[in-house]
Structure 1
């Protein structure tokens, strides 16, 4: 169960993104936040034709590049979305609709720690959209970021994170390729939402 002392997220205050169209959710459905130019999303969809992936990117030029590649490959199980992930998730996804979440090399927000994913009240809402016994994966090349995320997972979200080093041959994102080629260490945090985990949004659906 989440820590009820945390400031509560207020999804009812968020408007749908411009041009929002609610997707038809198929199962199993995965979500990638911050897809960039789509390297991981395209590989995941290609390698897992039985799984559906929604991949969200906010930056216009990155999204355009991603969308062009997706169209060329004609991957029916991939839905590229150009939007801010928070209002889009609020208005598009119902409770326990996700079979997994990827947040790979997010902006570390060095001047605004409150905007890091596991520090935000929104993270509770995101957990409510995940099915029981499903996994969230977060990756970064910043040791302080992964250490803070690990502590927040334990203290705020009452979860049991697993931290591992990313394999030196991994090529999930352009950032990952660049960091590993420079000899940097990259870390991965894995969270499993346990059976019976409760949030304050388990019954909340956008009107």
Structure 2
């Protein structure tokens, strides 16, 4: 029998999803409840103007991508392009990602999560994704074997993320340099053109992984497991 991992994050302050209200005008996308079991569902947090989301969805027609952006002007540019390109396996969402995920995403339903070039929060490190109690909830929405892909051009951010992934979240992870010809996001293009080094951290959810939210659902979320 496989031994379950020791999860040091169980000793951290717990996220409290029940205290979050649903975003304004919240509607669960139809695809979440109607997606077929053999179609992977992916999530991008902080999609910006949608460069990665549009490219990924176009290149991966057999996968469904939900891409969330909070900033209005960026989202409006993203939504306009998504409408023009008519990519039917992409859902562009204008919302705060944390509240939206709490109210829309079921446990163990996401195959991969992209967090590409997030705000480094250098003056408020508690708001960095892997330092937040919400990260445990996010992992509960990930399928076994699913991945979280984080990219940044801030070495200190990556150092902390890699340390947290191993020591706090007990996730197998691989860190590497982003290729200099990569063009996933507008930020990535800009940083690499300036000769900066960009890093990527890929974290995998192992078999037997447990969180405190594996059975937690918002009232409107349907669990297909």
Same fold flag (TM > 0.5)? yes
Please state if 1:66 is matched with 2:78.
yes
TM-score normalized by structure 1? 0.98
Q: CA deviation at 1:160?
A: 2.0
For residue 196 of structure 1, report the CA deviation from its aligned partner. 1.4
Matched pairs, number = 207
Asked if the contact 2:191–2:198 (Cα under 8 Å) also holds between the matched residues in 1, the reply is yes
The yes-or-no answer on 1:131 pairing with 2:143 is yes
Tell me whether 98-107 or 25-34 shows the greater mean CA deviation: 25-34
- Measure, in 2, the Cα distance between the counterparts of 1:146 and 1:188: 8
Aligned residues of 2:147 and 2:204 also touching (Cα < 8 A):
yes
SS state at 1:170 partner: coil
- Normalised to the residue count of structure 2, the TM-score between the two structures is 0.91
Distance in 1 between residues matched to 2:176 and 2:10, nearest whole Å: 29
Partner Cα separation in structure 2 for residue 162 and residue 202 of structure 1? 25
Q: Identify unmatched segments of 5+ residues in structure 2.
A: 220-225
Q: Distance in 1 between matches of 2:183 and 2:105?
A: 29
SS in 1 for 2:150: strand
Deviates more, 1:68-77 or 1:151-160: 151-160
**Of 18, 21, 31, which residue of structure 2 is paired with 1:15?**
21
Task: Give the 3-state SS of the residue equivalent to 2:57 in structure 1.
Answer: helix
Deviations 1:177-197 (A, max 9, x none): 000000000000000101111
- Where does residue 119 of structure 2 map in the other structure? 107
Q: Which residue of 2 aligns with 1:41?
A: 53
CA distance in 1, matches of 2:57, 2:172: 28
CA distance in 2, matches of 1:93, 1:180: 34
1:56 aligned onto 2:62 = no
The CA distance in 2 between the partners of 1:161 and 1:119, in whole Å, is: 16
Which stretch shows the higher mean deviation, 66-75 or 151-160? 151-160
Residue 77 (structure 1) shift: 0.4
Q: Distance in 2 between matches of 1:89 and 1:142?
A: 26
CA contact (8 A) 2:40 2:111 kept: yes
1:135 offset after TM fit, Å?
1.0
Counterpart for residue 90 of structure 1: 102
Give the one of 2, 11, 15 matched to 1:5: 11
The offset of 1:130, in angstroms, is: 0.4
Q: Quote how far apart the aligned CAs of 1:110 are.
A: 1.0
Q: C-alpha distance in 2, partners of 1:203/1:139?
A: 29
